[in-house]
Amino acid sequence: MFDAGQRNADSATLGHRNLIAYSRALTRWGSRGDLHEADGVLAYAGGSPIPVVGNGAFRAAETVSPATLIGVADNFFARHRRGYSIKVRDTGQDDDLRQACEENGFATFGEPVPEMICEHALKVPPLPEGVRMQRVGDVAGISDFAAVNADAYSTYSMPADVLGDLFDQPENVLADPDTTIVVAYRGTQPLAAALTYVSDGIASLQWVGSINEARRLNLGRAVTVWATNVAFELGAASCTLQASPMGAPLYTALGYETLYRYRDHVRWTAPRG
pLDDT in tens, the chain (273 residues): 333 344 466 888 999 999 999 999 999 999 999 999 999 999 999 999 999 999 999 999 999 999 999 999 999 999 999 999 999 999 999 999 999 999 999 999 999 999 999 999 999 999 999 999 999 999 999 999 999 999 999 999 999 999 999 999 999 999 999 999 999 999 999 999 999 999 999 999 999 999 998 888 999 999 999 999 999 999 999 999 999 888 999 999 999 999 999 999 999 999 997
Query: What's the pLDDT at 83?
Result: 98
Q: What is the pLDDT of residue 2?
A: 32
pLDDT of residue 40: 95
CATH of region 131-260: 3.40.630.30
Strand order in the sheet with 107-118: 34-38, 41-45, 55-59, 84-89, 257-267, 107-118, 239-242, 202-210, 189-199, 179-186, 131-135
Could you state, in order of their start, the residue ranges of all structural domains in the chain? Answer: 6-113+262-267, 131-260
How many CB atoms sit inside 10 A of residue 210's CB?
26
In contact, 136 and 183? CB cutoff 8 Å: yes
Q: What whole-number distance in Å separates Cα of residue 117 and Cα of residue 9? A: 12
Reported pTM: 0.94
Residue type, 91: T
The rounded distance, in Å, linking the Cα atoms of 255 and 239 is 11
In this structure, the number of other CB atoms found within 10 A of the CB of residue 194 comes to: 30
pLDDT value at position 204?
98
Q: What is the per-residue pLDDT for 4?
A: 37
In this prediction, residue 8 carries a pLDDT of 61
Interatomic CA distance for residues 142 and 144, integer angstroms: 5
- State how far the Cα of 15 lies from the Cα of 222, in Å rounded to an integer: 23
Distance of CA 47 to the CA centre of its chain: 14
Distance between CA atoms of 17 and 14, rounded to whole angstroms?
5
Residue 203's contacts (CB-CB under 8 Å, 6 or more residues apart) are 18, 196, 197, 230, 231, 234, 236, 238, 239, 240
